[in-house]
Each structure stands twice: as C-alpha cells, then as structure tokens.
Amino acid sequence: MAESHSSFWWSSPPRSIGRRAGSFPWDWIAHLRTPPGNARGLLRISAVGLALWAIVFGGLRFILGWPATAWRDHWGPWGWELVAVHVSSLHTWVFLALTLSILPLLTLWEFRLLPSQVQGLFWLVVPLWFAVHFASALVNETRLFLVPVALVFIPGALYNRESPIGVDGGR
C-alpha cells in the first residue's frame, strides 16, 4: 500500500513540520537527494530540455527576426564602462542596499552550515548574476536582483536559525 521513502528523491521527510515557522519549505529542499541511478537520466532530460529550448528560441528568432536596433543603442555604454558607472554611483548602491537588505549578511553569517544545495546555488548564481547585470544592465533597476534574493538569500537567511527564547521552547 504505502511506498517506502527510498523511491522518492528525499532521504527522509523533515521532522520539523509545524515546529519551526518559516523554515518548512527550506527543510524539504535540504532533504532532496538525487538517486545515484537516476543521475544520468536527469542529465539526459536536462540536455533534451536545453536542446528543445534552443530549437524553439532559434526557430522563433529565425521566423520573427532580431530586433531592429540593439538595446545598447538606446541605453548607452556597456561592459567595463557601465561597471565603472555603477560602481561610482551612490544612487545605485543605495537602491541595491535597500533591495538586498540584510539577507546577504544573514546568508553569509554561518555559510558553512548551510546545506550543500544552497551553497551550490550561491556559487552558481550570485557571482555570475551580479557580474552580468553590473556589466550589461541598469543596476538602478534593482528588481533585477530579486532572483538571487529568492533563490539564495532568503533560503540562506532562514535555514537552520535557532528560535529566540520563549518561541518554540528555545530549541
């Protein structure tokens, strides 16, 4: 009747359901595991998905064509010149600080204690995301940085934080 947990992608369901408010989804993410036998299958599925995306994107661009003008024709410099503009702009840093808040600090506070999935996402997403957007986009539009906030900084800030005394028995 009931299937064993070994047939699922998690090693064991979290035992903290209902005990620690705010960390439930991240507990599930932390318990996800890729079965060793399915790693190649998952890699094949990912490769097929990437190939399908490239075919659809390329086909649409072939049919519809490319935009008449490049985006940088409208918005000025890009590359190192744009990085210099962003680094020297107080307006950019204030808006970025308001968007990110203290979440990066909370994530980095005890980074080594975070699950490997969150650490991996951090190293995969954050440096590349910041580098690409500082060099090619208007960083003043800080909503661009909500992706690393949602994928890395919120889970990193919430994961494995102890409850204050008086809440949840101080456990």
Q: What is the pLDDT of residue 75?
A: 63
In a domain, 156, yes or no: yes
Provide the 3-class DSSP secondary structure of residue 102: coil
What pLDDT band is residue 20 in, cutting at 50, 70 and 90? very low
Q: What is the CA radius of gyration of the chain?
A: 21
Beta bridge partners of 10: 32
The widest CA-to-CA distance across the chain, in whole angstroms, is 64
The per-residue pLDDT for range 33-60, each reduced to its tens digit, is: 555 566 677 778 888 888 898 899 889 8
**Total domains present in the chain:** 1
The answer to the question of residue 62 being in a domain is no
The answer to whether position 116 is within a domain reads yes
Distance CA 28, CA 31 (A): 5
Asked if residue 98 is part of any domain, the answer here is: yes
pLDDT tens, 114-152?
Answer: 888 888 889 989 999 999 999 888 888 888 899 999 999
Cα(158)–Cα(77) distance, rounded to whole angstroms? 38
- Asked whether residue 165 is domain-assigned, the answer is yes
Confirm whether 130 is domain-assigned: yes
* pLDDT average, residue stretch 86-103: 91
Long-range residue pairs from 69-75, CB within 8 A, at least 24 positions apart, any chain: 75/138
Buried/exposed 19-56: b ≥16 CB within 10 Å, e otherwise: ebeebeebbeebbeeeeeeeeeeeeeeeeeeeeeeeee
> Residue 154's domain spans which residues?
70-170
For residue 168, the model assigns a pLDDT of 53
Asked whether residue 129 is assigned to any structural domain, the reply reads yes
| Between 107 and 45, residue with greater pLDDT | 107
How far is Cα of residue 52 from the mean position of the Cα atoms in its chain?
23
1 domain-assigned:
no
